[in-house]
Amino acid sequence: MVRHGWMLLAPLALLAGCPVNQPQDTVEQERFETSPVTGTGYWLFVPHNYRHDQPMPLIVSCHGTVPFDVANHHIREWKWYAEKNGCIVIAPELLGTDGILGDGPIRDMLVNERRILSVIGLLGYRYNIDRNNIMITGFSGGGFPTYWVGLRNPDVFSVVAARNCNFSSSNMDGWFPPDAKSTRVFIYYGQNDPGPIASQSLTGIDFLQSRGFNVSTATIPGAGHERHPEVAMKFFRENMRPARPSLPVSPSLAAK
């Protein structure tokens, strides 16, 4: 009954959450690139004040159900906040992010893991990424790779932020290492989010807390299934660690 109700409600809920209402007036603009490792695409935003001699934090943002939520939406919702807060952003094209009928199948999460980690690795040759401060976040069905890839790789991600996200305990149990519990986890959703998003967020909170994770939570008053990257940005800033730069990079590799 719950699943049937979500199937009827989800298209309207997702459409309501699709608009990117965040400012677009940044000095630099986002650009689309293709990974030579996987042959798949991702969007990249590098703030105008990036400098090779100063490590810059990185945000990885995972899109939800296509075509309601795509990678381009994520680079556009994040770039203004990244510009103001000095962060590089990537938004990769992913699989298994259907939050209406899907449950984040493991085969797709393994593919997503390779796509995300390969892009981070490639960008480490071009930019001085702050390896101690990398946040993975997602919206709606993007919660599947956000939780799965983020908690599977605590040596890479310092913060996992789930925004109005789907969660599947069946694809998480047994797939993360014990030291993942050191990762800061933030789960939030709108007061008026569709029932399944709220209930799956609560399931995610209960699941992770029962396994020893320190989970911060929030409910956005009056909000529905809407983008609020500023909430995750604030959490990321509050949980910054001392910077750890990448290996020396060559300015010639970082094409503008």
Q: In the prediction, which pLDDT does 250 show?
A: 56
- 192-209: average pLDDT: 96
Q: What is the pTM of this model?
A: 0.91
What percentage of the chain's residues is helix, strand, coil (to nearest 5)? 40, 20, 40
> CA separation (Å) from 73 to 54, 69, 252?
28, 7, 29
- 24-39: average pLDDT: 94
Please give the Cα distance from 205 to 231 (Å, whole number): 17
> In the predicted model, is pLDDT for residue 11 greater than 80?
no
Q: In the prediction, which pLDDT does 18 show?
A: 67
DSSP for 140-200 reads: ETTHHHHHHHHHH-TTT-SEEEEEEE---GGGTTT-S-GGGGGSEEEEEEETT--HHHHHH
Radius of gyration of the chain (CA): 17
pLDDT, tens digit, for every residue of 50-93?
A: 999 999 999 999 999 999 999 999 999 999 999 999 999 999 99
Please give the Cα distance from 62 to 64 (Å, whole number): 7
Provide the pLDDT confidence category of residue 253 given band limits of 50, 70 and 90: low
CATH of region 2-244, choose from 3.20.20.80, 3.40.50.1820, 3.40.50.300, 3.40.50.2300: 3.40.50.1820
Q: In the prediction, which pLDDT does 248 show?
A: 58
Provide the pLDDT confidence category of residue 20 given band limits of 50, 70 and 90: confident
Residue with the larger pLDDT of the pair 24 and 164: 164
What dihedral angle (degrees, nearest 10) is formed by the CA atoms of 69, 139, 19, 97?
A: 10
